[in-house]
Amino acid sequence: MSKVALVTGGSRGIGAAISIALKNAGYTVAANYAGNDEAAAKFTAETGIKTYKWSVADYDACAEGIAKVEADLGPVAVLVNNAGITRDAMFHKMTRDQWKEVMDTNLSGLFNMTHPLWNGMRDRKFGRIINISSINGQKGQAGQANYSAAKAGDLGFTKALAQEGARAGITVNAICPGYIGTEMVRAIDEKVLNERIIPQIPVGRLGEPEEIARCVVFLAADDAGFITGATITANGGQYFA
Ligand SMILES: NC(=O)c1ccc[n+]([C@@H]2O[C@H](COP(=O)([O-])OP(=O)(O)OC[C@H]3O[C@@H](n4cnc5c(N)ncnc54)[C@H](OP(=O)(O)O)[C@@H]3O)[C@@H](O)[C@H]2O)c1
């Protein structure tokens, strides 16, 4: 029986590449998404990967959604907390809603998804939790006090939970992507991207979603059991944490 992997925000961008890479590595994959039904339907048609709609910002919806995935596919062995949003603004202009939406999705989303799965992983003595943080959680970024705070929080969550899961066969790791060429990044003004962002990346290009997906497959493997509490930085040399 192949292991079940659940990828949040798994139907688009980096998450879609992760879902596909895990499927190709032999996992039975469930891809969660928030609201873009059209993209999810297209993704399922193209890949055969089942998609499930709920918001990671809603604890009860996560518990219900996970129960549905497990009823359909079996117990989740690998959880990839990938869903994330940006609501950028300089701090003097940032609204409480912009702060809260990012915290609810990018930080509380990790609690909401991991908590309902944790006891099952402990009982089965196996689990892989992989959290997609960001370079901007490591170095901070002007215009992203909300996003940088949430993504830094993801790293603290990873390190604390790694200690709790270690004896139960559960590893908890984080990946910090740099700038990856998804819709989230392509939404940045092209002039800003070409003149301000890409010149800061020593390899001279944006990363590919597949380059993050390969890190996930590595951390998810049975024989990655000695790696826990770690942060893999994949940012083209832009920042050394
Ligand atoms: N792109 C980058 O350069 C970059 C760099 C560093 C870190 N990251 C992180 O990598 C992750 C993926 O980024 P991306 O660029 O691939 O983003 P993206 O292309 O905007 O895709 C985001 C995915 O997350 C889902 N999502 C958003 N809010 C959700 C919620 N509340 N509940 C469930 N799913 C939700 C979206 O669902 P719908 O399709 O329904 O909207 C979509 O599938 C994020 O955590 C991001 O912060 C990205």
Give the residue ranges of the chain where pLDDT is below 50.
none
Domain around 194: 4-234
Any atom of ligand 1 within 6 Å of the Cβ of 148: no
Give me the number of domains the chain comprises: 1
Atom 7 in ligand 1: residue holding the nearest Cα: 134
- Residue 240 domain flag: no
Q: Which atom of ligand 1 is nearest to the CA of 106?
A: 45
- Residue 68 domain flag: yes
Cα of 94 from ligand 1 centre, angstroms: 20
Cα of 83 from ligand 1 centre, angstroms: 4
pTM of the model: 0.98
Is 239 designated active site?
no
- Residue 239 domain flag: no
- Residue 210 domain flag: yes
Task: Assess contact for 78 and 30: CB atoms under 8 A.
Answer: no
- 18 Cβ contact partners less than 8 Å away, ≥ 6 residues apart: 7, 10, 80, 82, 209, 212, 213, 216
Cα of 167 from ligand 1 centre, angstroms: 31
Any atom of ligand 1 within 6 Å of the Cβ of 36: yes
Would residue 125 be called left, alpha or beta, if left means φ above 0 and alpha means ψ between -120 and 50 degrees?
left
| Sign of the alpha-carbon torsion through 51, 56, 57, 61 | positive
- For Cα atoms 107, 160, 124, give the angle at the middle one, nearest 5 degrees: 95
Rounded to a whole number, what is the distance in angstroms from the first to the last CA of the chain? 39
Tokens 């944006």, located at residue: 206
Task: Assess contact for 3 and 77: CB atoms under 8 A.
Answer: yes
Among residues 33, 147, 179, 239, the one annotated as catalytic is 147
In this structure, the dihedral spanned by the alpha carbons of residues 200, 194, 10 and 64, taken in order and rounded to 10 degrees, is 80
- Residue 215 domain flag: yes
Task: Assess contact for 168 and 202: CB atoms under 8 A.
Answer: no
Atom 45 in ligand 1: residue holding the nearest Cα: 84
Atom 25 in ligand 1: residue holding the nearest Cα: 9
Atom 2 in ligand 1: residue holding the nearest Cα: 180
- Residue 93 domain flag: yes
Cα of 123 from ligand 1 centre, angstroms: 30
Candidates 222, 134, 126; CA nearest to 174 is 134
- For residue 5, the SS3 value is strand
**Amino acid symbol at 212:** I
Q: What is the C-alpha separation between 142 and 121, in angstroms, rounded?
A: 38
- Residue 120 domain flag: yes
Any atom of ligand 1 within 6 Å of the Cβ of 9: yes
Atom 19 in ligand 1: residue holding the nearest Cα: 13
Which CATH number belongs to the domain containing residue 56 in this structure? 3.40.50.720
Cα of 147 from ligand 1 centre, angstroms: 12
Task: Assess contact for 20 and 209: CB atoms under 8 A.
Answer: no
- Residue 241 domain flag: no
Q: What is the DSSP string of 25-92?
A: TT-EEEEEESS-HHHHHHHHHHH--EEEE--TT-HHHHHHHHHHHHHHH--EEEEEE---------GG
| Strand boundaries in 147-230, DSSP class E | 170-177
